[in-house]
Amino acid sequence: MPTRTLDVLILEAVSKSYREGPREHRVLDHADARIEAGTAVAIRGRSGAGKSTLLNLVSGIDHPDSGRILFDGHDIGALGEPQRTLFRRRNVGFVYQFFNLIATLNVEENVRLALELNGVRGGAARRASAALLRQLGLGDRLASPVDSLSGGEQQRVAIARALVHEPKLLLADEPTGNLDEATAGEIAPILRELARARGATLLMVTHDPALAAGADRVLELRDGRLHPS
């Protein structure tokens, strides 16, 4: 049995490279990090530094060339593709810059889908989805098409979808990057506080100083490694 520690996420000497024509581009170079359960951690760095690549590795969408990524004591890289898919479905929630909502589903259906993928269906799924959306101030928009919502409302739906199945890990990739300054200022505390209230560890990539300032820790991805900021 794996040993449970306060560190829900551990990166050990993680390296990842991509080939760009004749040259190899190394985005992560023996990166290390230890992230405690229930904390909010912001990752900053220049464009192209590998921040989104890091999230893909942590979620198991991609796998490192070398090193290990341990989530709750389990080595994600050692899992096969079906097991990584199941791992993401059960343990990870995603919030994206461009929302990634499904236009053919209404607001409540977008959120409920995350529960249905985990085997929760029918009235239980509808009630849980509606309750979280009401908590986010969208109780009167449950049946609305998602493309009728403002950007801030769509991101609230995305946050609800990411958290409704009670994931241990919430990954946010520039969650305020597609919002105006005022709306971003509203979304940032919602994201942090709701993740904390539901016991999720929050790992967010951001260029937004205000979003980073509200995190428990800030790490800078520079020269392929993570540094305290």
- CATH number of the domain that 22 lies in? 3.40.50.300
pLDDT, tens digit, 9 for 90 and up, residues 107-131? 999 999 999 999 999 999 999 999 9
Determine contact, residues 29/224, Cβ cutoff 8 Å.
yes
State what percent of residues in the chain have pLDDT above 70: 97
Return the pLDDT at 1: 38
Residue 2 has pLDDT above 60, yes or no: no
pLDDT, tens digit, 9 for 90 and up, residues 133-178? 999 999 999 999 999 999 999 999 999 999 999 999 999 999 999 9
Instruction: Tell me which residue range forms the domain holding 58.
Output: 7-100+167-228
Q: How far apart are CA 125 and CA 115, in angstroms?
A: 6
Question: In this structure, is residue 147 part of a structural domain?
Answer: no
Question: In this structure, is residue 171 part of a structural domain?
Answer: yes
Task: Report the DSSP beta bridge partners of residue 71.
Answer: 9, 74
Question: In this structure, is residue 57 part of a structural domain?
Answer: yes
* Structural domain count, the chain: 1
Question: In this structure, is residue 178 part of a structural domain?
Answer: yes
Q: At what angle do helices 151-163 and 107-116 cross, to 10 degrees?
A: 20
Return the pLDDT at 6: 62
Q: How far apart are CA 72 and CA 52, in angstroms?
A: 21
Determine contact, residues 196/189, Cβ cutoff 8 Å.
no
Question: In this structure, is residue 148 part of a structural domain?
Answer: no
Question: In this structure, is residue 132 part of a structural domain?
Answer: no
**What is the Cα 194 distance to its own chain's centre?**
13
Question: In this structure, is residue 135 part of a structural domain?
Answer: no
Question: In this structure, is residue 134 part of a structural domain?
Answer: no
Per-residue confidence at 40, pLDDT binned at 50, 70, 90? very high
- Residue 203 has a CB neighbour count (10 Å cut-off) of 27
Q: What is the mean pLDDT of residues 3-27?
A: 82
